């Protein structure tokens, strides 16, 4: 699956879930919710970037285990930043950016799961590649293009709806 598709799915998954779970208590918080989508954008291609050095795609980094490891590593940057912002008078739940990293990363291998190649989703507990084929991995211009467009359109609708609901 191409990186633009992963990015679109990652941001859409984050946007949909965060807007569903959080009711903002300030305009600033709403913008932090929106800004954190940048984290899901970048973490959505991390599984492939980590594996770039290796020849084989979709190894152990495409697993829940690694999505947790990467999220914990990212906390080393997020938590100090959160503490600093709080001291500057900007408060928001720290779980928001952490969730953004996790959902971006996780959406990557879940999306890969639905192509014919499959992923080692339960590594290291199960090293077998698993998947449920919805389309061919090679068919990049058909379903993938459509998924990319739909994901971005959904993301835009989610945020327009969010801001108009609370602030208009």
What does the alpha-carbon distance between residue 50 and residue 59 come to, in Å, rounded to a whole number? 10
Structure tokens, 142: 């058909």
β-bridge mates for residue 141, sequence order: none
CA 133 vs CA 45, 90, 106, 114: distances in Å: 21, 45, 18, 5
Compute the least distance from the CB of residue 3 to Zn ion, in Å: 9
Tell me whether residue 51 or residue 95 sits nearer to Zn ion (CB atom).
Answer: 51
Q: Which of 51, 100, 57, 45 is nearest to 77 (CA)?
A: 100
Residues lying near Zn ion in the complex (CB under 5 A) are found at 48, 112
How far apart are CB 147 and Zn ion at their closest, in Å? 14
CB 166, min distance to Zn ion, A: 36
Please, which residue, 112 or 144, has the CB nearer to Zn ion?
112
Distance in Å, CB of 36 to Zn ion, minimum: 22
**By the 8 A CB rule, do 120 and 60 touch?**
yes
Measure the CA–CA gap between 59 and 65, rounded to whole angstroms. Answer: 12
Closer CB to Zn ion, residue 48 or residue 144? 48
Q: Which residue is nearest to Zn ion (CB)?
A: 48
Closer Cβ to Zn ion, 39 or 45, answer by number? 45
């Amino acid at each position: 699956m191409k990186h633009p598709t992963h990015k679109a799915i990652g941001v859409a998954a984050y946007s949909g879930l965060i807007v569903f779970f959080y009711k903002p208590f300030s305009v600033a918080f709403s913008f932090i919710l929106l800004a954190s989508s940048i984290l899901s954008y970048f973490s959505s291609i991390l599984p492939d970037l980590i594996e770039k050095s290796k020849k084989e795609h979709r190894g152990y980094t495409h697993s829940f285990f690694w999505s947790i490891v990467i999220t914990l590593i990212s906390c080393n940057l997020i938590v100090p930043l959160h503490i600093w912002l709080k001291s500057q008078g900007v408060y928001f739940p720290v779980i928001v950016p952490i969730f953004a990293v996790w959902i971006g990363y996780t959406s990557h291998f879940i999306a890969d799961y639905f192509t014919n190649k499959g992923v080692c989703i339960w590594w290291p507990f199960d090293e077998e590649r698993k998947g449920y084929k919805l389309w061919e991995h090679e068919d990049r211009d058909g379903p993938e293009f459509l998924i990319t467009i739909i994901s971005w359109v959904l993301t835009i609708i989610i945020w327009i709806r969010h801001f108009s609901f609370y602030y208009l």
